[in-house]
Amino acid sequence: MIWLTWRQFRAQAITGVAAVALFAILLAVTESHMTSLYDASGIVGCHGGACTGAANQFLTNLTSGQGVSFLPAGANAYVILYFLSVLFILIAPAVVGSFWGAPLIARELETGTARVAWNQSVTRTRWLAVKLALIGIAAMAVTEALSLVQAWWAAPIGKAVGLGGSASIMGEGRFGQFVFPSHGITPLGYAAFGFALGVTAGFLIRRAIPAMAVTLAIFAVVQFVTPLWIRPNLLPSSHTIATIAAAGANVTSVFTITNVTNVTHAGSPQFALSAAAVPGQPGAWITSSGAINVAGQPVSGMPAACASVTPGNLGPGGSAVLNNCLASHGVRVALSYHPVSQFWPLQFAETGLFLVLALALAWYCFWRLNRRFSV
Amino acid sequence: MTAVIETAGLGKRYRTLWALADCTVSIPAGHVVGLVGPNGAGKTTLLDLATGMLAPTTGAITVLGGRPAAGPAQLARVGYLSQDAPLYTGLSVADHLKLGARLNPGWNADQARDRVRRLDLDPRRKAGTLSGGQRAQLALTLAIAKRPELLILDEPVASLDPLARREFLQDLMETVGEHQVSVVMSSHLISDLERICDYVIVLVDSRVRVAGPVDELLATHHLLSGPRRDPASLPDGVEVISASHTDVQTTLLVRTSGRVLDPAWMVSELGLEDLVLAYMKQAGASRNRHLEVQK
């Protein structure tokens, strides 16, 4: 059965390995140049606040493509490579699910070859078990390989971001919506789930092409829903109430008044406050934040005194003057967040969730194959 | 006489449609059994149930004393060639033999190789490029070389041209002769069955209309023609299968273990095809009568 599975899967396996190789080559040819930019930025051996400056310098150089001799200036080669590579990892499970998973059973039912396989001296359960195990592991390996190659290539960016560098659209932290699901062990969970989803869709629909489309659609929905509603709630989040003053001199960069409107409601302008960082918790992932008043109630109406000092500060952004005025009127920020120490627990929780879903789908396939079966 | 396939009240329903309902049949071992019946009689469904390709909705079926497709041992005992002989189009002839060798502990590699050589199949050719006849032959090779005790063939020659059909059946007969294997083969081409089957079962609307060794059936069925008269006037022990009348003449197909001695009848022998067709026709009529009685 292993031989047959391999014989049928051979061409797809070669395609998969070729894709990983091409991906690695594309990144490898630029890796040494990125490392040289990193070494030249002064991050290595920096101390204290100088590190953030050096990290920002590195990210700026990287974004603007400075010193990229082999490309025209401003080509943004690294930005394009960075996002393409992350995107590739994110869609890999969907591709694997629809091109390896969906036809796995569907094609055999469509062409009638399932009857050939099921009339050899091998039970259907074994037939499916070998296919699921071998190709499922291949799917996980390919996706994780992409992730590891990208992580190796992007390591300097990660270090710079870790040092507080944010002067780039590549400056997404470890909990970022692109970074989190494409690094660590989450690609394993997504690959297993995408593959099992494809197999199940193919089994239910019994036609490979529609099953591929359904797999892509469902996976896209899952990828959209997960960071919004599932990931923040996988583990209990920490809560804190921060006073605006607690941020001290750095007040504007810690708390951003994201939206001050001069639409008066009950006599005062509306404002919304959200936090960009948690005091004392660098790198934490803020899942929700908002302004509360002295009594701890959510507040959106501007205190009258602040409304009078803000005419010039209305509009997105706010200012230190406005922040200080809000703070002096007892406005504080309520925060829910996952500290950076939750990174691996969240990785395990999310990977575990999708592995369990994958196993549930696989179990359903076995059940259907043996109980409600008909070709 | 032991049975290779034995069913009791077997039924298979697809949503609201019964493809096979309340089918009770016993197919004996050691024969080449032809399963005939009109389209929709349930032949394919019965064979799919016998190979475990389908699970029954009602009733029970045992094949060689075991549950169909219950495990590797049971699977090894039954060879199945399903309609249209599906094969892996992207795999070569040699790959198919390797597949058989890998997946069947009882695989007879020499026999498989010899067959492929004799059939003049290039081992390197992809199965997708083979002709219909060659595909059927390769599929049969897979089914036979696993050394089954029972070989089930579902309309194996329906899609073949007359020459390929004759070659296929010829080859099947030789193989069956060499290796002790029971065969159950469905077809609606009665002339093909006549050539190779020694036992026939007529299945209409999930019911067995007649079953028995071909010689015996032919020896006990007669075509009578004579002046017009009521079939009821025939002696006991003579069963009328079909009757047709013109103004002056009556033609009867009868079954009797004895001889028809009444000189008023002209007795003639009949072929398997006429016999089977008579039973197929009779089936519809008797069913209607049965319904009337129920009212």
Facing residue for B80 by CB, picked from A111, A119, A122? A119
Facing residue for A115 by CB, picked from B76, B78, B82? B82
Is residue A109 one of the residues assigned to a domain?
A: yes
- CB-CB neighbors (< 8 A) of A126 in chain B: 72
Is residue A370 one of the residues assigned to a domain?
A: no
Facing residue for A4 by CB, picked from B54, B78, B99? B99
Q: What is the mean pLDDT of residues B59-69?
A: 92
Looking at the structure, do residues A200 and A84 belong to the same domain, yes or no? yes
Query: Given the structure tokens 């070389």, which residue do they identify?
Result: B145
| Distance to chain A for B68, nearest Cα, Å | 11
The domain boundary residue, chosen from A233, A265, A281: A233
Looking at the structure, do residues A43 and A151 belong to the same domain, yes or no? yes
Q: Do B144 and B111 meet the contact criterion of CB atoms below 8 Å apart?
A: yes
Q: Do A140 and A184 meet the contact criterion of CB atoms below 8 Å apart?
A: no
Looking at the structure, do residues A105 and A134 belong to the same domain, yes or no? yes
Looking at the structure, do residues A248 and A302 belong to the same domain, yes or no? yes
Q: B-side interface with A, Cβ within 8 Å? A: 14, 48, 51-55, 69, 71-73, 75-76, 78-80, 82, 84, 86-91, 95, 98-100, 102-106, 139, 142-143, 146
pLDDT grade for B187, boundaries at 50, 70 and 90:
confident
The domain boundary residue, chosen from A214, A233, A252: A233
Q: Computed from CA positions of residues B226, B231, B235, B241, in that sequence, does the dihedral angle turn out positive or negative?
A: positive
Residue A356's nearest CA partner among A179, A215, A224, A188 is A188
| Distance to chain B for A124, nearest Cα, Å | 9
Is residue A30 one of the residues assigned to a domain?
A: yes
- A371 and B76: CB-CB below 8 Å? no
Whole-complex ipTM: 0.86
Is residue A40 one of the residues assigned to a domain?
A: yes
Q: How far apart are CA A24 and CA A37, in angstroms?
A: 20
With a CB cutoff of 8 Å and minimum separation 6, the contacts of A9 are: A100, A134, A135, A138
In chain A, the number of structural domains is 2
Q: Do B87 and B135 meet the contact criterion of CB atoms below 8 Å apart?
A: yes
Cα–Cα–Cα angle for A211, A217, A220, nearest 5°? 135
Q: How far apart are CA A143 and CA A184, in angstroms?
A: 11
Q: How far apart are CA A135 and CA A195, in angstroms?
A: 8
**Which chain A residue's Cα is nearest to B70?**
A123
Is residue A369 one of the residues assigned to a domain?
A: no
Is residue A357 one of the residues assigned to a domain?
A: no
pLDDT grade for B79, boundaries at 50, 70 and 90:
very high
Looking at the structure, do residues A220 and A308 belong to the same domain, yes or no? no
| Distance to chain B for A9, nearest Cα, Å | 11
Looking at the structure, do residues A89 and A112 belong to the same domain, yes or no? yes
Q: How far apart are CA A346 and CA A188, in angstroms?
A: 14
Range of the domain at A88: 2-233
Q: Do B223 and B269 meet the contact criterion of CB atoms below 8 Å apart?
A: yes
Q: Do B238 and B256 meet the contact criterion of CB atoms below 8 Å apart?
A: yes
Q: How far apart are CA B254 and CA B220, in angstroms?
A: 8
Looking at the structure, do residues A106 and A172 belong to the same domain, yes or no? yes
- A121 and B78: CB-CB below 8 Å? no
Is residue A82 one of the residues assigned to a domain?
A: yes
What pLDDT is stored for residue B291 in this prediction? 38
Looking at the structure, do residues A84 and A205 belong to the same domain, yes or no? yes
pLDDT by 10s per residue, chain A, length 375: 899 999 999 999 999 999 999 999 989 988 888 888 888 888 888 887 788 888 888 888 888 766 655 555 556 778 888 999 999 999 999 999 999 999 999 999 999 999 999 999 999 999 999 999 999 999 999 999 999 999 999 999 988 888 877 777 777 888 888 899 999 999 999 999 999 999 999 999 999 999 999 999 999 999 999 999 999 999 999 998 887 754 443 344 345 555 454 444 455 667 777 777 787 787 889 888 888 888 888 887 777 777 666 555 544 445 666 777 777 888 888 889 999 999 999 999 999 999 999 999 999 999 999 875 554
Residue B161 backbone dihedrals phi, psi, to 5 degrees: -75, 165
Looking at the structure, do residues A219 and A250 belong to the same domain, yes or no? no
Looking at the structure, do residues A205 and A275 belong to the same domain, yes or no? no
